[in-house]
Amino acid sequence: MSDNIQNLSRDDINFDKIFKLVFRNLWMFVICLVVAVGSAFLYNKYSVPSYKVSSSILIKEDNSQPLTQGMDNMFSGNIFGNNQNLQNELIIIQSYPIIEKTIKNLDLEVAYYEFKDYQYHDAYHKAPFKIFFFDDHPQAIGTMFDLKFNADGSFNLMVKDKDVTLFDYKTRRKVGEKDELDLNIKGSLGQVVESKEFKFIVQIEDENLSSMNDEKQYAFKLLTNEALSRVYQKKLQFSIVDKNATVIDISLETTSVLRGKAIINELIRVYSANNLAEKNHIANMTIEYIDKQLQEVSHSLNLTEDSLQKFLSKNQLVAVEDQASSLSGQLVNLQNALAELMTQKRYFTYVGDYLAGGENETQIIAPSSMGVQDPLLNKLILDLSTAQSTKANLIQNGQERNPIVQRLTFQIDNLKKVVSENIASAKTSNEMSIEEMEKRIAQVEREIRKLPKTKLQLGGIQRSYQLNDAIYNYLLQKHAEAKITKASNLPDNIVVAPAHMVGSSPVSPNKRIVNFAALFLGIGVPMGILLLIYLLRQTVETRDDLERISNAPILGTILHTRNKKEVNVFKDRPQSNIAESYRSLRTNINFYLKNK
């Protein structure tokens, strides 16, 4: 019998019994619904709302086409194509240095709040006052300072907190802790408020005086750029919109839409400026290289120019143009061509020294900026510079262990070998061209030697001057081109959608979800309790329960009474239903036992 009783809960669920159980306990549902709906109402009313701010940027693809796609992939090791570049940019834009610079630019070390509805609401760019703290004095950071402005221009400053951290903004270091801070100070606007734990000035602009209200309560909190950078590095969300597109979506959940927009827009601006600085770095290197070459050539040009002036003055030769001939014209053209070849030779020497220098931290100057018109060499140098820049950015952002860094190192080594081979070939071709050009110049000079001695001497000085002058002018032209390139540089990203609030309502609290959850809990909790009671019951409660656990016939049922007084129902209440149930039981027993 006991085993059968323990298995009562394993029988088929009787929905009629469950319905009766629910009906008898409707009070539980009413109480749970009232508590759940009330809690949802209070939560929706007094919770600080959070909003989602989002923006999208497009990373430009490299539209330069290689001579042979297969050869380029072999040289650069770029088996992931544009997706690899997009992943690299994704790592850079969410790196700590970029986010830290963003936070520093926005000056977020003082957070402002308005206290209403029992909560501190973010008052970014809405608070009618400003806090100016002294960076040479220890400051309590992360502690809420409550402000109550008075009609006479004074204010009450209240702070109560435990385990307060003291921070020195000048040295950017923690300088101490305080177990408990409990102060109530009355101060005046524009005057220093100071204690051992803080020192600052509360200032209100004249146009904000009219908005001050004795009933409004404000607060502020001192923070650090380092802590804020770590917080927003976790809160900012970056995602690739489509695997076939190079668009990055940036989103942030924040209690202030203005703050969220400011952070995302400034983040994009800092990232774009960083990208542009990388591109300008190459242009600056080119300009610096040309400036050094100009200094060397300028010295030689000054010497030859002085020699020419002295010779003309000594021999009283004023009208040089009148003595010019077709030979001098040919010589000038040949010397200009030789100047260009000599400049290219200098560049090839520069690249050879660069590659022989082992691990190079700086990027290499592009051949096209020095007049070397070799598409393959230009493409290889461009790939090498891009790989070096990407590797440097990843290492700078703390990604030394990123597999991409190892892949880039292998790619850079391969590119250096291929560039070295191409430079050797180009240098050989350049030397042959210089030798040929010098032969042609020598041939013209032999013709010039037939001229009179004075004119011959003048021609030698002129040729030296014209060669240096041609090189100098050529370098000046390249210098101007490099500056124009730098001025025309643009970031490799386009803002598709500026920072904006997503939707027209807060993402938290979501009133629909909260209300639905309240209804679900208000009904589900009591229902679950009643079902649990029903399934875990271990007692015989009805005649049906007895019939399921026993094959013995049921001879009768004795009614239950709520009367706690002991009575003899046959004597005191012979006509009651309980007495009648005993008589019925006796009759059934006699019938069943056949009067035995």
**DSSP letters of 212-269?**
--TT-EEEEEE--HHHHHHHHHHH-EEEES-TTS-EEEEEEEES-HHHHHHHHHHHHH
pLDDT of residue 207: 58
Residue pair 114/127 in contact by the 8 Å Cβ criterion: yes
Which pLDDT score, from 0 to 100, does residue 257 have? Answer: 93
By percentage, how much of the chain surpasses pLDDT 90?
24
Tell me what pLDDT residue 310 has: 67
pLDDT at 56: 92
> Residue 577: what pLDDT?
83
Q: Is the pLDDT of residue 369 over 80?
A: no
Average the pLDDT over 214-227 and give the result: 88
pLDDT in the model for residue 124: 92
CA 471 to CA 477: how far, in whole Å? 10
Name the least confident of 31-35, 323-327, 513-517.
323-327
As a whole number of angstroms, the distance between CA 113 and CA 121 comes to 5
pLDDT, residue 319, reads: 43
pLDDT band at 570 (very low <50, low <70, confident <90, very high): confident
Average predicted confidence (pLDDT) for the chain: 80
Residue of 85, 322, 90, 128 lying closest to 214 (CA atoms)? 128
- pLDDT surpasses 50 at 318: no
Q: Which residues contact 524 (CB under 8 A, 6 or more apart)?
A: none
**Quick one: pLDDT at residue 250?**
93
Given a cut of 90, whether residue 237 has pLDDT beyond it is yes
Task: Give residue 79's pLDDT.
Answer: 36
Q: Which of 466, 555, 515 is nearest to 33 (CA)?
A: 515
Distance, in Å, from the CA atom of 379 to the CA atom of 361, rounded to the nearest integer, reads 20
Rounded distance, CA 47 to CA 508, Å?
Answer: 8
**CA 546, 549, 552, 553 torsion-angle sign:** positive
pLDDT at 86 over 50: yes
Query: How far apart are alpha carbons 150 and 156 in whole angstroms?
Result: 8
The answer to whether residue 212 scores a pLDDT higher than 70 is no
pLDDT tens column, 469-521: 777 787 788 878 778 777 777 777 888 889 999 988 888 888 889 889 999 99
Give the model's pLDDT for residue 254.
92
Instruction: Assess whether pLDDT exceeds 50 at residue 576.
Output: yes
Q: Of 144, 147, 191, 200, nearest to 169 (Cα)?
A: 200
For the segment 382-402, the average pLDDT, to the nearest whole number, is: 76
- pLDDT at 218 (0 to 100): 92
Q: What is the pLDDT of residue 547?
A: 77
Q: Which residue has the higher pLDDT, 125 or 378?
A: 125
DSSP track, 93-136: HTSHHHHHHHHHHHT-SEEEEEEETTEEEE-TTT-S-EEEE-TT
Q: Which range is least confidently modeled, 26-40, 229-243, 560-574?
A: 560-574
Region 5-29 average pLDDT: 71
- In this structure, of 120-129, 204-213, 243-252, 403-412, the range with the lowest mean pLDDT score is 204-213
Q: Which of 24-28, 34-38, 459-463 has the lowest mean pLDDT?
A: 459-463
Cβ atoms of 557 and 539 closer than 8 Å: no
More confident residue, 205 or 352: 352
Question: What's the rounded Cα separation, in Å, for the pair 524 and 32?
Answer: 9
Give dist(CA 444, CA 450) in Å, integer: 10
Percent of the chain with pLDDT over 70: 82
Backbone φ and ψ for 551, nearest 5 degrees, come out as: -95, -5
pLDDT at position 324 is: 43
Q: Residue 507 carries which DSSP code?
A: S
Q: Which two tokens stand for residue 355?
A: 């590659």
Taking 50 as the threshold, does the pLDDT of residue 71 lie above it?
no
Cα-based angle 547, 550, 553 (whole degrees, multiple of 5): 70
Mean pLDDT of 214-240: 90
Checking if the pLDDT of 421 tops 80, the result is: yes
pLDDT at res. 238: 92
Mean pLDDT in residue range 399-423: 82
- Averaged pLDDT, 126-134: 91
**Amino acid 434: pLDDT:** 85
Using 50, 70 and 90 to split pLDDT, how confident is the model at 325? low
Cα–Cα dist 457/453, whole Å = 6
CA 216 to chain centre: 36
How remote is the C-alpha of 20 from its chain's centroid? Answer: 58
User: Phi then psi for 401, rounded to 5 degrees?
Assistant: -90, 5
The pLDDT, as a whole number, for residue 112 is: 94
- Report yes or no on whether pTM surpasses 0.75: no
Q: Which residue has the higher pLDDT, 289 or 455?
A: 289
Which tens digit of pLDDT belongs to each residue from 133-171?
Answer: 999 999 999 999 999 888 777 889 999 999 999 999 999
